[in-house]
Structure 1
Amino acid sequence: MSANDSRGPAGRQNAATYDSPFMKACRREAVPHTPVWFMRQAGRSLPEYRKVREGTAMLESCMRPDLVTEITLQPVRRHNVDAAIYFSDIVVPLKAIGVDLDIKPGVGPVVENPIRTRADLAQLRDLTPDDVHYVTEAMGMLTAELGSTPLIGFAGAPFTLASYLVEGGPSRNHEHTKALMYGDPQLWADLLDRLAEITAAFLKVQIEAGASAVQLFDSWVGALSPADYRRSVMPASTKVFDAVASYGVPRIHFGVGTGELLGLMGEAGADVVGADWRVPVD
């Protein structure tokens, strides 16, 4: 596990959070109690979240450092959890590089021009720190407020980003995604490789700004078999994890409905793999 070999307080990790229960657990060290944190923002479960989000669209909320800071801190204040999760959305880096998309209430991310051909890849330029300056600002505000409580950076994994881009929005069966993956494996590989570069750049911004750990969230990868995952998804996820390995911060990987994939998700380069409610912890 690379987190066990991390450079500790002398490296990228924040000295104030290094010995926290969450960080110790990530390194598989003895902890005073089992650390608890939210995999994603507390969201609709908190009345204070609903109040602060009133009249503000999701993507706008993710681009306002004041709101990001407030929402990230809410579950820490209310529940005294052992780590904060940066408030964001998986499509934020795509929006930041100019992809025409929006998050429709009650629907989810909707992409105006889905990616179906090689020419469509032109939508995906490189992400620079200036594209997400609000992330750097919010991270600075948060680390100042959190003190010894670790802050977990957050990004969507290449497969899930690809599924939204190819389908044009949420999908139950991912027909277009699988058609591209099986029908044009080279275009699929190039798409995921491009998304891996964008995602890695997004996580690097967060680590540079003070994130103590980072999480790669693969909402829809449970739609694939282990063989498809290994062949068509794992190389891109590995590229993301490898790109941030030198920082020495723990890398978390989580997917939904991924019981059959947990071993492979660990092989992709994660230090911590999340199991959803379908998988008994033991």
Structure 2
Amino acid sequence: MAEKKINDTFLKACRGEKTDYVPVWYMRQAGRSQPEYRAIKEKYSLFEITHQPELCAYVTRLPVEQYGVDAAILYKDIMTPLPAIGVDVEIKSGIGPVIDKPIQSLSDVEKLGEIDPESDVPYVLDTIKLLTQEQLEVPLIGFTGAPFTLASYMIEGGPSKNYNKTKAFMYSEPKAWFALMDKLADMAIVYVKAQIKAGAKAIQVFDSWVGALNVADYRYYIKPTMERIFSELKEDNVPLIMFGVGASHLAKEWHDLSLDVVGLDWRLPIEEARAMGLTKTLQGNLDPAILLSPWEVIEERAKAILDQGINQGGGYIFNLGHGVFPQVNPESLKQLTAFVHDYSRKVKS
């Protein structure tokens, strides 16, 4: 079946091409604060939703229909591919991903297998096909977790505030660490390529917690792995986006990689990123907490960010500096999307 014609403003911005207005999408836009999603979650877990393509596609496209955003992001979790390589992970309400048997040695790493997306996660690929061939009129963003962030869960056994076990393993077991990075890079590459083949038009790599590392450690322990991932994904000719939290000090390191878009959280202003020498398309970076403020505050902060994004040169995509909170009023996101479109269209005209 032929794919539907889509609004490609987001894709043009990713590539640094001229657009009539600033495109916008929101991390964690699918679900969280939407009453329709909450009703679904009363019946089904995240695991159950993602294993039902029709239902998962509905959750994915819902914010596009409600907010008018310029891209959809596939509803799933960064943990989704891990069971395929032998990691027993459970998403526990109020806690997050929990892994009963954390990685502790090289032998644990060597026991990890390989992913075959067509047989291991067919429901993910079916959801993508359903969305891109029949439902969406905007690009679909696929995604994967980056090796450091996935490794942090696998070593800590769950979420962490300081990543002490992860860093200790990295420093004291370098052979096992790099073997783990290779395993997770292989998984990410195969997994993402399958998403692209199924119809994903862009890919975001979430290295959510890599900001816990300093620049020197990132360069030595992480960056070579990321260079391999992005270099291999570049062959598929879709825009590639990098994002992490509390990682402003790594923005220049990301800019060096074979990617198209550097995602910024709210800590690094766009004008400062440009002054640092970042010339690629930037994405971000309204603090999601501001969405809990009165509209006048939201508009003022969004306008300031848009002015920087538009006037500093280079491609620009409006987003949040992290994900939507469950407490955010969906109407605020709808109003913000319209404001971003209308204001940027006036400035660009």
What TM-score, normalized by structure 2, do the two folds share? 0.74
Residue 92 of structure 1: SS of its match in structure 2? Answer: coil
Counterpart code for 1:161: L
Which protein has the larger Cα radius of gyration, Structure 1 or Structure 2? 2
Q: Does 1:208 align with 2:197?
A: yes
Counterpart code for 1:24: K
Residue 77 of structure 2: SS of its match in structure 1? Answer: coil
Q: Which moved more, 1:150-159 or 1:64-73?
A: 64-73
Q: CA deviation at 1:60?
A: 2.3
Q: Are residues 99 and 123 of structure 1, via their aligned partners in 2, closer, same or farther at CA, if it must alter by over 3 Å?
A: farther
Between the aligned partners of 1:217 and 1:190, the Cα distance in structure 2 is 20
Q: CA deviation at 1:96?
A: 3.0
Determine the structure 1 residue equivalent to 2:127: 138
Between the aligned partners of 1:119 and 1:22, the Cα distance in structure 2 is 44
Check whether the contact 1:158–1:192 (CA below 8 A) recurs between aligned residues.
Answer: yes
Q: Which residue among 145, 151, 156 is the counterpart of 1:167? A: 156
Q: Does 1:32 align with 2:20?
A: yes
Q: Are residues 170 and 192 of structure 1, via their aligned partners in 2, closer, same or farther at CA, if it must alter by over 3 Å?
A: same
Between the aligned partners of 1:214 and 1:171, the Cα distance in structure 2 is 26
Q: Give unpaired runs (5+ residues) of structure 1.
A: 1-13
Q: CA deviation at 1:70?
A: 0.9
Between the aligned partners of 2:86 and 2:220, the Cα distance in structure 1 is 29
Q: Which moved more, 1:51-60 or 1:80-89?
A: 51-60
Between the aligned partners of 1:151 and 1:180, the Cα distance in structure 2 is 36
Q: CA deviation at 1:123?
A: 4.2
Q: CA deviation at 1:55?
A: 2.8
**Percent of pairs identical after alignment?**
48
Q: Which residue among 12, 16, 24 is the counterpart of 2:5? A: 16
Q: CA deviation at 1:61?
A: 2.0
Check whether the contact 1:41–1:87 (CA below 8 A) recurs between aligned residues.
Answer: no
Q: Does 1:239 align with 2:256?
A: no
Between the aligned partners of 1:48 and 1:237, the Cα distance in structure 2 is 37
Between the aligned partners of 1:177 and 1:272, the Cα distance in structure 2 is 27
Q: CA deviation at 1:53?
A: 1.9
Count of residues in correspondence between the two structures = 268
Q: Are residues 217 and 85 of structure 1, via their aligned partners in 2, closer, same or farther at CA, if it must alter by over 3 Å?
A: same
Q: Does 1:114 align with 2:102?
A: yes
Alignment of 1:71-150 (within 5 A): 71-129=59-117, 130-150=119-139
Q: Does 1:65 align with 2:57?
A: no
Between the aligned partners of 1:123 and 1:64, the Cα distance in structure 2 is 30
Counterpart code for 2:172: G
Residue 247 of structure 1: SS of its match in structure 2? Answer: coil
- After superposition, give the CA deviation of every residue in 1:131-169 in whole Å (9 maximum; x if it has no partner): 111111101111124444100011101110000000000
Check whether the contact 2:109–2:176 (CA below 8 A) recurs between aligned residues.
Answer: no
Determine the structure 2 residue equivalent to 1:258: 247
Alignment of 1:190-229 (within 5 A): 190-229=179-218
Between the aligned partners of 2:36 and 2:255, the Cα distance in structure 1 is 35
Check whether the contact 1:235–1:268 (CA below 8 A) recurs between aligned residues.
Answer: no
Q: Which moved more, 1:45-54 or 1:100-109?
A: 45-54
Q: Give unpaired runs (5+ residues) of structure 2.
A: 272-349
Determine the structure 1 residue equivalent to 2:35: 47
Determine the structure 2 residue equivalent to 1:9: none
Q: CA deviation at 1:93?
A: 0.4
CA-based RMSD of the aligned residues comes to 1.5
What TM-score, normalized by structure 1, do the two folds share? 0.91
Determine the structure 2 residue equivalent to 1:3: none
Q: Which moved more, 1:42-51 or 1:24-33?
A: 42-51
Determine the structure 1 residue equivalent to 2:170: 181
Between the aligned partners of 2:228 and 2:129, the Cα distance in structure 1 is 27
